[in-house]
Amino acid sequence: MAVSKREQLVETALKLFCQGGFHATGIDRILAESGVAKMTLYNHFKSKDELILAALRLRDERFRNSFMQDVERKTSDPIERLLVMFDVLGKWCSSKGFTGCTFINASAEFSGHDDPIHQAAAEHKRLLLNYIRQLTESADLENPGELAEQLNMLMEGAVVTVQVTGDCNITQRARSAAEVLIRAAMPATSNRA
């Protein structure tokens, strides 16, 4: 299936933004690597910021779909899914070309909370937290909203730590901490160990 010029631009931009950052990646480099003319770029996007937003939307869709599918493919047990999230995260963090979280990086480069790019990054994080909350609720654990936030913080912290240190074992240490939190959130009448 033929890729449109717009898709080609967004794909190339996303790849380059992930590799080199948003501010450091210039339009000329995106055009050169995508093989798309400048006029075509501006027919689709009014500015570089619009292109960044399109790239973030694509990354959000791909990452969340892949993450949720991987978690749900590995187990149907609601509590196990909460732990499998860390295994899926570990696989991603140890993948070739891992450059950290595109959304954390975007929010750092566009730090104003009213900036549309920062808001797009925050929306991605909200959607992931909602998914984790759905998992904690379906696991029938106490204080599912609070537990979801705690597990989310472990995941976010693990990603940043792997990005900074290169130590991919961090995700398994985060998983061990998640086990403690999940065990503490089990109802007193639960037979799970």
Domains of the chain: 56-184 (1.10.357.10)
- Reported pTM: 0.91
Q: How far apart are CA 118 and CA 49, in angstroms?
A: 11
Q: What's the pLDDT at 97?
A: 86
Q: How far apart are CA 25 and CA 13, in angstroms?
A: 8
Contacts of 49 (CB under 8 A, 6+ apart): 116, 117
Contacts of 138 (CB under 8 A, 6+ apart): 78
Point out the residues of the chain with pLDDT beneath 70: 1-2, 189-193
Taken as a whole, the chain contains a residue count of: 193
Alpha helices per DSSP H over the chain? 5-20, 27-34, 38-44, 48-74, 78-93, 102-109, 116-138, 144-165, 170-184
Classify the phi-psi angles of 26: left when phi > 0, otherwise alpha if psi is within -120 to 50, otherwise beta: beta
Q: What's the pLDDT at 29?
A: 97
